[in-house]
Amino acid sequence: MGRILSIDYGQKRTGLAVSDPMKIIATALDTVATKELMPFIEKYLQKEDVETIVVGEPKQMNGMLSESSRYIDPFVTRLKKVYPQIPIVRYDERFTSKIAFQAMIDGGLKKKARRNKALVDRISAVLILQSYMERKIK
């Protein structure tokens, strides 16, 4: 059984999360500089069996794609070209950064720790993946 890899793509940093092989639990994997993302994914896929890649799709409140999707589309196109055997799924990521930040507050993280944008990116990737897995079960 393969894992699901979740990507919260950003212009500077990208948060990554991964499921367990049973696809029950989403766990933060890492935050990498976006320019290092493809080599990171390549190395990860050499070690782990990934059956699906979920990429966060930024949308506006009205459901239309947000401006930042223009940065994500070329990345998704490249992923599909390099890994044609792995399904690439776009998944709504609205509010994940806000929910991640609130989770950090609720978890008792100090103000200084909450400024760690890399942590917010990882948590956002986890939220995208967990939501995707829960929706897939229904």
The confidence score (pLDDT) of residue 129 equals: 94
Backbone angles phi, psi at 131, to 5 degrees: -65, -45
Q: Say how far apart CA 55 and CA 93 lie, in whole Å.
A: 9
The confidence score (pLDDT) of residue 66 equals: 65
The confidence score (pLDDT) of residue 138 equals: 52
Residue 41 makes CB contacts below 8 A (sequence gap 6+) with 5, 79
Starting at the earlier edge strand, list the strands of the sheet with 13-19. Answer: 26-33, 13-19, 3-8, 50-57, 88-92
The confidence score (pLDDT) of residue 136 equals: 76
The pLDDT averaged over each successive group of 10 residues in the chain (138 residues) is 93 95 94 97 97 87 69 93 96 66 62 67 88 79
CATH number of 3-137: 3.30.420.140
- pTM for the full predicted model: 0.84
Residue matched to tokens 């050499």: 46
Q: Domain boundaries in the chain? A: 3-137
Q: Could you say which DSSP state residue 9 is in?
A: -
